[in-house]
Structure 1
């Protein structure tokens, strides 16, 4: 049986003893992560910064000219949640709040990596999302929320109270990540690189820096799970779940669960994997490797009588700069051709930077939420657009294009539906 996408809210799972009165006491479902007395429930990782409890706050202090960023990390991990806290810079420096994060061995210690809510004196860039120790500063990309409107960033920065307490809010629900600064929305992002991890309070390495945090409280909203289309049967073989083959003779699973497809130029029809369900709001991903031909991750598509069967969106797989581009294809219904819209968005120059070449694996991902369509390739956003003309529901699918010699390898074809309960959280305002 599948695990439900959004677990029942888990309230009161973290209840430290002797917690003093705090903001959490007045907010239904929130629990304190800091008892106001000591650092119970937290562990330090990374560099040499020092953390202590002072006047009911956690204070982190940079040890000048020592290597490595330092993080005070929660012992508990969170998947879907709302985190609220207050911070104040006591000494200028660089800081942040980690979430859905993890650590790996590095040198003689641990290297923290994962999503980070940026914090800077004066509010500059505060609330933006940096990927600490992972995707940050790769391919010229600093911020994961590269499509955030400048006027929204300006409004959030203007709300910052330098040298005073400021309000942070971070919400993660499935692939949706949203941040606020003093009640001003900063980031509204869809990203699926990690879905669970610890929280952390960062002190950046450098010449100076000291930050105080207080009223740290969280509402635990459970955890979202991917639903796989490739599943292992009781006999150890692999098969489709909630999906079907078109031209099944062209498809087979390897012993380790990779779907292998071989399509001949003489075959005018498309070879396809098509979901048996329609999906409206969701995030879907697949990892692929190709040996010539043309392919796609279909979404919000309908079955027609055309040789290529599906009409709708294609997240393009072409082994060139069109990977992750959006194409909208035509169909044939009741003998009539229903036109497609062609290329909706392309980003060839950036795609050529982030795609893996020479037959290597790539992971492409589509998030569809109402009129919003977001594409990522190998974890980097290639497009984020509002398309009011888009279909609102339809099938997911994998394609081997007809009329061309094509060989494809697919693994980890998965979907995470965004339920009505998730949408209520995603669409809420503080």
Structure 2
């Protein structure tokens, strides 16, 4: 049976008549596929690939024998039990010699998540970097996946861009160049509870395009995760994103309380902006830097890398009008080595730890989403026109509050900021990168003004 005949059971999102689809599944057997890593079993019945979970065995992947580079993949997937987390490997890698020759599958996986977390369609880097696109970055897509029903997945892997859809809903947009080709894979997730053994995950209508690819544009305003250096996609530019740091010079930045950029201490090397190690003092060495422009409602994203024991921060609504000594005053996304810097144990209930609203609200973060010293983390601050504010760390929302609310003002009244009237409630302000006397690196700083 041809793939175009199969498509009538699950209409393809791309309806162009001249697009050639190749079926990866012949509806009869698993020719062209092989099961690797775990011991879960796959069978074919009534034109469906059925994977049955097996307890106390690693994730099991049914991968194509063929590797693919650029492609558009569409398939249907159904999960019957909450224990049956699944996924689709795209450009997946397989090392048969790993794990004492038991084999290891790693690389890009498009999630199928039936749990309350609802991250289906997000992008996970299996056995390597972890989550690249959690659905906290696109919460409206969390409702797309339907438990116990057939779900239609579309994945575009073209050049260094990967985009996903679930049941027609735009979900994830990732720009990354780690893998240019690899296997397609269908996952049956590992389980620990023997009572869950035998629960099934179903796949059908697995088809791929590899030639004359026509990318389907995203229409919604979807956040883009990019691991490339100081660049924006055309999609981001069209949605109003701008780089705050171009990777080559300090245009758009000056020293706080100064007319020019600091003459020493801040450097650009290989597209990265960094501040030197000094004596650990707050803004007492080279000084903070601020944007020339002011911002009101905005979406700000930035990558940062700490050194051991480092302290820094990204501040916003910085007015430079308080006349204080030390670091300029503003709301602060804390950057801190929680394990080694004493500030993590100061403040109240952990409200001075990494990604927290400094001295006000502790970041609710899990260790698995934290990258330590020497690794790049992705920070994000969103300030909505209604004054709701969110902090993200590596794609996961960790802080939420409303500027000017009774709850917010009560927190300020118990903090170091209580001496400043209407702290953090300015209508607009600068963005600030802090010099706290420790070496810290920044790149990929981009902003979109919200209206």
Q: TM-score, normalised by structure 1?
A: 0.56
Shift in alpha-carbon separation, 1:25–1:274, aligned structure 2, 3 A: same
Kindly state the Cα deviation for residue 346 of structure 1 after the two structures are TM-superposed. 0.9
What per-residue deviation string (whole Å, max 9, x for no partner) do you get for residues 91-143 of structure 1?
998352236775363344442245552356xx78765569543577x9xxxx9
2:264 partner SS? helix
- Which one of 20, 24, 37 corresponds to residue 47 of structure 1? 37
- Which one of 149, 154, 160 corresponds to residue 147 of structure 2? 160
Pairs within 5 Å for 1:344-383: 345-347=361-363, 361=375, 363-368=377-382, 370=384, 371-376=388-393, 379=394, 381=396, 383=398
Q: Which structure shows the bigger proportion of residues in strand conformation?
A: 1
Tell me, yes or no, if the aligned pair for 2:50 and 2:203 is still in contact at 8 Å: yes
Tell me, yes or no, if the aligned pair for 1:47 and 1:68 is still in contact at 8 Å: yes
Alignment of 1:283 onto 2:297: no
Tell me, yes or no, if the aligned pair for 2:88 and 2:187 is still in contact at 8 Å: yes
Tell me, yes or no, if the aligned pair for 1:38 and 1:53 is still in contact at 8 Å: no
- Which one of 12, 23, 31 corresponds to residue 35 of structure 1? 23
Shift in alpha-carbon separation, 1:61–1:324, aligned structure 2, 3 A: same
Indicate the residue corresponding to 2:68 in structure 1. 75
- Which one of 92, 96, 101 corresponds to residue 86 of structure 2? 96
Indicate the residue corresponding to 1:408 in structure 2. 439
Shift in alpha-carbon separation, 1:103–1:309, aligned structure 2, 3 A: same
Shift in alpha-carbon separation, 1:112–1:367, aligned structure 2, 3 A: farther
Tell me, yes or no, if the aligned pair for 2:12 and 2:74 is still in contact at 8 Å: no
1:214 partner SS? strand
2:302 partner SS? strand
Question: Unmatched 5+ residue regions in structure 1?
Answer: 1-16, 234-238, 329-341, 424-430
Shift in alpha-carbon separation, 1:104–1:391, aligned structure 2, 3 A: farther
Shift in alpha-carbon separation, 1:398–1:100, aligned structure 2, 3 A: farther
With 261-270 and 317-326 compared, the bigger mean Cα shift is at: 261-270
Tell me, yes or no, if the aligned pair for 1:62 and 1:204 is still in contact at 8 Å: no
Shift in alpha-carbon separation, 1:28–1:397, aligned structure 2, 3 A: farther
Shift in alpha-carbon separation, 1:419–1:25, aligned structure 2, 3 A: farther
Structure-1 separation of matches of 2:128 and 2:291: 33
Alignment of 1:315 onto 2:302: no
Kindly state the Cα deviation for residue 70 of structure 1 after the two structures are TM-superposed. 0.5
Shift in alpha-carbon separation, 1:62–1:25, aligned structure 2, 3 A: closer
Kindly state the Cα deviation for residue 285 of structure 1 after the two structures are TM-superposed. 1.8
Q: TM-score, normalised by structure 2?
A: 0.54
Kindly state the Cα deviation for residue 373 of structure 1 after the two structures are TM-superposed. 1.5
Kindly state the Cα deviation for residue 34 of structure 1 after the two structures are TM-superposed. 5.7
- Aligned-residue CA RMSD in angstroms? 5.8
With 282-291 and 205-214 compared, the bigger mean Cα shift is at: 205-214
